[in-house]
Amino acid sequence: MGFLRERMGKILAFFIGFALLAFIAGEVVKSGGSMFRDDRNLLGEVNGEKVGYDEFNKKFEQNANQFKQQSGQNNLTPQITAYVQETTWNNTISLMILKKEVDKLGLVVGDDEVNSMVNGNNPDPQIVQAFGNPQTGKVDVNRFNTFKANLAAAKADDPLRQQWADFIESLIGNKLNQKYVALVTTGLYVNSLEAKEDYQAKNKLANFKYVTLDYASVPDSKAVPTDADYQSYYDEHKNEFKTTQELRTFDYVSFNAAPSKDDSAAVKTKAEKIAADFKASTNDSLFVQVNSETKVPITYLHKGRLDPKLDSVMFTAPNGFMVGPYLTAGSYKIAKLVDSHVEADSVKARHILIDANTIGVDKAKAKADSIEKLIKGGKSFAEMANMYSIDKQSAAKGGDLGTFARGAMIPVFDDAVFSAKKGDVKIVVSQFGVHLVEIEDLKGSSKVVKVALVDVPLKASNATQTAVYSKAQGFLGNLTKENFEAEAKKEGLQIKTAADVNGIAGSIQGVESARDIVKWAFGAEKGDFSDKVYITGDQNIVAHLMEVKPAGILSLDAVKKQIEPMVKNQVKGKILSDKLQAALNGSTTIDQVAQKAGAKVNPIQNIVFANPVIPGSSTEYKVVGTVFGSQPNKLSKPVEGTQGVFVFSVDSFINPAPLANAVREKDQLSQALMQRSQSQIFDALKDKANVKDYRAKFL
């Protein structure tokens, strides 16, 4: 006891420390992490080199923003987001794999090459895309020089400098890619024999007759595969079952939280109240901004540009005329005719754009006034545009904007020029700066209307959503390992299957926004139920993880259900082959075989090896390949094809004229080979690289 009393502090400290260490180790094991390294930022590995989540996400954001700019979309759908993520990932690992190969070969891009790509007579396509004139397809020199001047004047910490450095780095990466591909593809060669064989495959004709017995003619009950049949098929096609990433399959049920009749009635009443207030409103633009779910700008539109329900009445109605509320596309809509008038169909104009961001709107307007006075005093508009306009593309053409219809420009600009007369000069303020605009010509005339639109979405009430969620929660609480199907049947729910989902899928069949469900599936064990009810749109989802397919060659058990139809056909093929072989015994013509087999003779003309399609049947590679390896006027052995078992007799082959231009044939094959090789090179390198993908736990 005295010993314990003297050392009790140290003993307690030891046991407390040991307990804490055990707790931490347990958490690390459960999370798949490491005690001594922080892998929370580890998105993947390529040959042991880490791919950090932060750096990857930065590239993804850049690519996503670029996609938004190119497509004109402010928000990306789950499907597009998944596509951009996958593209970013493939580019990232391809560059890492390529860097290793490039370093091994000692390939570099020198300073002179970089300067040539950026400033040379034949600049890199990305430079042309970034600084080009769409009409000429060449670099806009003035615009590019302005950018370089701004870059030189930028401070060291200006984001512009980092963006340019990243851009140049991407140019260098692409150039190294081109050099490596060029080195590999230089060794590719098509010889004369290959050219001749390809010519024969495309032009030699076969005429033959065949008899076929379809697999469908044998009932499934008479073709029950054995384990040996499955194993044989699996061994023969094993490489077809290789997956590059882990896949998971889960069943799920959905509880629909769509608006009830009471919800619809309540939303309609709300919409009617809004309609009454809208009618009395004197500031329609503000009213739309405050009350509409979708903030649509109020602009003048030509006939045919409105919703058909509105298009039929608004062009003959008086100002203030109301339509709605009416239900369309899941929302109650209310429309109000704000104004209508007749205006030109198109306008020809030119402008000088003054930068208001640098000097302020008031000074920019004053500068526009001064330029207008100079023009009225005899100065050339084109000369002033070239001297003062920051819109270099139009300035190079004397400020000319061409002829355009309403909608081609921003609304404030449209409203100014389409309300003007020929020869008018106007000053217009927009988000781009201050425009000095001259109206050169007006063409045509038609009526336009300005319609203010308010939409009130039809949504389920909180009471409806809560009731449906509680029902789904109760269903989840009643589940055991064995009763998912029974409980779903009891509730009258249809079980749906999300098959072979990858770790970064953003959607599954029937569920557009399924990212959270997929993340759960990739953190669960086979047989688990979802840890909670997942809500997406009107759906409350409960899932059951059915299968986990690891990356690599899948096991026979994992693909057994998938290959069952093909294995059954193999079993049926043996039965039908025996039947046709019996018909062949003692037969000397294809007609005799058909009579004995209870089938008909099918004549076929002008089949080529390169296009092995049998009219009225399907693509039959094995059958047509066997035909071209056979002798005329001889009965073939039974051939098991795609749709059934065949016996044929070749009538004749028609050889094409001798190959006159082997060089052209070789060139065509070489081009096709080059096109395939570029993707196949990286596929081969990727297979060789030890790529580890942990994206499922992040994205």
Long-range contacts of 290-293 (CB under 8 A, 24+ apart): 291/454, 291/456, 292/453, 292/454, 292/455, 293/331, 293/455, 293/456, 293/457
Q: Which of 505, 389, 558, 687 lies closest to 78 in space, CA to CA?
A: 505
d(CA 321, CA 318) in angstroms, rounded, equals 6
* SS3 state at 188: coil
Helices 590-597 & 556-584 angle (0-180, nearest 10): 110
d(CA 624, CA 614) in angstroms, rounded, equals 8
Q: Are 479 and 487 in contact (CB under 8 A)?
A: yes
pLDDT for 182:
86
The Cα angle at residue 644 between residues 639 and 649, in degrees rounded to 5: 45
Q: Are 287 and 294 in contact (CB under 8 A)?
A: no
d(CA 330, CA 255) in angstroms, rounded, equals 19
Q: Are 288 and 454 in contact (CB under 8 A)?
A: yes
Q: In what order do the strands lie in the sheet with 346-354?
A: 400-405, 346-354, 433-443, 425-430
* Residue entry with tokens 């928000």: 75
Q: What is the tens place of the pLDDT at every residue in 539-581?
A: 999 999 999 988 888 899 989 999 999 999 999 999 999 999 9
The tokens for 106 are: 């000692």
pLDDT for 39:
60
* Residue entry with tokens 């010993």: 3
**114 Cβ contact list (under 8 Å, min separation 6):** 168, 171, 172
**401 Cβ contact list (under 8 Å, min separation 6):** 348, 349, 350, 351, 394, 409
> What count of other Cβ atoms lies within 10 Å of the Cβ of residue 677?
16
Q: Are 693 and 247 in contact (CB under 8 A)?
A: no
Q: Are 536 and 257 in contact (CB under 8 A)?
A: no
3-state SS string for 281-334:
CCCHHHHHHHHCCCCCCCCEEECCCCCHHHHCCCCCCCCCCEEEEEEECCEEEE
* SS3 state at 546: strand
Alpha-carbon distances of 273 from 219, 270, 281, 321, 454, rounded to whole Å: 66, 5, 12, 17, 12
Q: Which of 258, 256, 276 lies closest to 330 in space, CA to CA?
A: 258
Q: Which of 565, 643, 598, 581 lies closest to 220 in space, CA to CA?
A: 565
Q: What is the DSSP-derived secondary structure letter of residue 698?
A: T
To the nearest 5 percent, what fractions of the chain are helix, strand and coil?
50, 20, 30
What kind and span of H or E run contains 686? helix 662-688
Q: How many helices (H) and strands (E) would you count in the chain?
A: 24, 23
Q: Are 533 and 476 in contact (CB under 8 A)?
A: yes
Distance of alpha carbon 446 from the chain centroid: 40
Q: Are 541 and 554 in contact (CB under 8 A)?
A: no
Q: Are 189 and 673 in contact (CB under 8 A)?
A: no
Note if the bond before 125 is cis, omega within 30 degrees.
no
pLDDT for 214:
95
> What count of other Cβ atoms lies within 10 Å of the Cβ of residue 168?
15
Q: What's the Rg (C-alpha) of the chain?
A: 36
pLDDT < 70 regions, the chain: 1-40, 69-72, 699
Distance of alpha carbon 688 from the chain centroid: 27
pLDDT for 7:
44
What kind and span of H or E run contains 650? strand 644-654
Alpha-carbon distances of 548 from 113, 248, 583, 673, rounded to whole Å: 49, 5, 47, 37
pLDDT for 15:
39
pLDDT for 70:
66
Q: Which of 636, 284, 314 lies closest to 448 in space, CA to CA?
A: 314
CA 224, 226, 232, 237: dihedral to nearest 10 degrees? 50
Q: Which of 449, 458, 459 lies closest to 307 in space, CA to CA?
A: 449
Q: Which of 63, 52, 37 lies closest to 93 in space, CA to CA?
A: 52
d(CA 259, CA 255) in angstroms, rounded, equals 12
Strand-pairing partners, residue 508, are 511
pTM, rounded to two decimals: 0.62
The tokens for 638 are: 């039974």
pLDDT for 55:
85
Q: Where are the alpha helices (DSSP H) in 72-108?
A: 78-105
Q: Are 359 and 373 in contact (CB under 8 A)?
A: no
